[in-house]
């Protein structure tokens, strides 16, 4: 059964994102989830929100709007910001980077891989000067 949306507006900086995650994960609709699903939710939301801080708001300041609700099959999440659009107006493919010699190990670029590995129905659109990202965090983790 669909419930009402939990909404939160967060300033586009990493400190505010940290506080928002701590706050969000302690309340509905996250508080009642299994530890595994809460951990997936925290990983995905951290990557999504920090990507917005780092890239969309790299050259400007602004807020991030988060909406989450329980739905059939999972938690529906909608994230909106008013920063720079995704390059090419599409999401990074988040391909897995093969790990080689220690000196060549990647120190970044894990974010979209983690997001795509965990969520379903990932969609992005640019609309009215805003980035809108939506996805479903499934209750049953099919991928791993």
Partner 1 sequence: MELLAKESGGILIIRATQDRIDAAGAIQFKDRMRDLTQTSAARRVVLDMSNIAFLDSSGLGAVVAVLKALAPDRKLELSGLTPTVQKVFRLTRMDSIFLIHEAMPDGLRHAG
Give me the residues that bind partner 1 (CB under 8 A), please: 14-15, 17-18, 21, 35-36, 39-40, 42-43, 46-47, 50, 53-54, 96, 99, 102-103, 105-111, 113-114, 117, 144
Alpha-carbon span 19 to 141, nearest angstrom: 26
Nearer to partner 1, 59 or 102 (CB): 102
Nearer to partner 1, 27 or 96 (CB): 96
How far apart are CB 90 and partner 1 at their closest, in Å?
Answer: 20
Cα–Cα distances (Å) from 143 to 84, 105, 116, 120, in that order, read 31, 24, 10, 10
Nearer to partner 1, 4 or 34 (CB): 34
- Count of C-beta atoms within a 10 Å radius of residue 74: 20
Distance of CA 88 to the CA centre of its chain: 19
How far apart are CB 143 and partner 1 at their closest, in Å?
Answer: 9
How far apart are CB 37 and partner 1 at their closest, in Å?
Answer: 11
Nearer to partner 1, 29 or 111 (CB): 111
Radius of gyration over alpha carbons of the chain, in Å? 15
How far apart are CB 45 and partner 1 at their closest, in Å?
Answer: 10
Alpha-carbon span 32 to 37, nearest angstrom: 10
Nearer to partner 1, 5 or 139 (CB): 139
- Which residues, other chains included, contact 110 with Cβ-Cβ below 8 Å and sequence gap of 6+? 47
How far apart are CB 38 and partner 1 at their closest, in Å?
Answer: 9
SS3 (DSSP) at 39: helix
């Amino acid at each position: 059964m669909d419930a009402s949306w939990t909404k939160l507006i967060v300033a586009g900086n990493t400190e505010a994102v940290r506080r928002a995650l701590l706050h969000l994960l302690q309340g509905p609709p996250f508080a009642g989830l299994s530890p595994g699903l809460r951990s997936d939710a925290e990983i995905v939301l951290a990557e999504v929100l920090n990507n917005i801080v780092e890239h969309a708001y790299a050259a400007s300041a602004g807020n991030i709007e988060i909406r989450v609700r329980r739905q059939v099959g999972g938690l529906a999440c909608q994230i909106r910001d008013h920063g720079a659009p995704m390059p090419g107006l599409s999401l990074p493919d988040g391909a897995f980077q093969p790990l080689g010699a220690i000196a060549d190990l990647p120190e970044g670029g894990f974010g979209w891989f983690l997001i795509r590995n965990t969520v379903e129905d990932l969609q992005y659109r640019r609309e009215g000067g805003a980035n809108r990202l939506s996805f479903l965090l499934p209750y049953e983790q099919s991928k791993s």
